[in-house]
Structures are given as structure tokens and as C-alpha cells.
Amino acid sequence: MELTGKVIAVLEARSGISKSSGNPWKMQDYVIETNEQYPRRMCFNVFGEDKINQFNIQVGEEITVSFDINAREYQGRWFNDIRAWKVERGTPAPEGEPAPAEVAPAVDSAPVPTFDAEESNDDLPF
């Protein structure tokens, strides 16, 4: 699955030692907000110090996150885990549409309107 949006929060990294193998681990959570009429937010995590450093996610960046969703049970309650496995900078162009660099610039040939306060006859109170 993928989601594109702006990073609005980078949370504190968490780390520890694995009980089963004794190896150290590190995980960091991020919050992304979509650029839709009704924006949605998603908290996702990146697991592994190497991936955290590789992605180098910063607040304010526009990114596309590829992720997997998994649910786990703990003491009778269920929790979702949204783990990113790929992060791309910028927003990709939808299929079939040219990239922004390929679009010809718009030419505006309409004259620029002018406003003269003495000729104003409208009855608006402001």
C-alpha cells in the first residue's frame, strides 16, 4: 500500500534489546497528512537504525510511503502496526499524465484589469 502526503511530526526514536536474540533494535514513528479536501493522518514506523538513517525523514517533506499493515494481539486487545518499507521524496505524477517539467507554461493574454476608486458605483458596505 502507498500513501502520499506531508510529514507533520517526527516522534522520538525507541530502542531496546531483543529478548529472543539479545540483539539491539531501534524504531521511529512518523505522522503523515494527505493533501486532500479532507486531509487524513497516518502514524507509521520505520524499523532498524539503518532504514531510519537511509530514509532520513524530516518534518515538512512531501513523501510517498510504501507500507505493510499488520495487527497483533496483546492481553486481549488488538493493535495495528503500519511499517514503512520504502520512502520516496516528492509526489509522483499520476499514470498517463506528463510530469510537471513536461507541461508547457500557460500564456495569459488577457489584459490586467485596473481599479479606479472614483469610478466605483457598487453598493457593497466594504
**pLDDT value for 104:** 46
Segments making up each domain of the chain, as ranges: 2-91
pTM value is 0.68
Q: Is 14 exposed, middle or buried (0-12, 13-18, 19+ CB in 10 A)?
A: exposed
**pLDDT value for 90:** 76
**pLDDT value for 91:** 52
**pLDDT value for 120:** 54
* Class for the domain spanning 2-91: mainly beta
How close are the terminal C-alpha atoms of the chain, in Å?
50
Question: Would you call 101 helix, strand, or coil by DSSP?
Answer: helix
Cell numbers for 100: 510537471
Q: What is the pLDDT along the chain (126 residues), one digit of tens a residue?
A: 999 999 999 999 999 998 888 899 999 999 999 999 999 999 999 999 999 999 999 999 999 999 999 999 999 999 999 999 999 997 554 554 444 444 444 455 555 555 455 555 556 555
Cell numbers for 89: 521524496
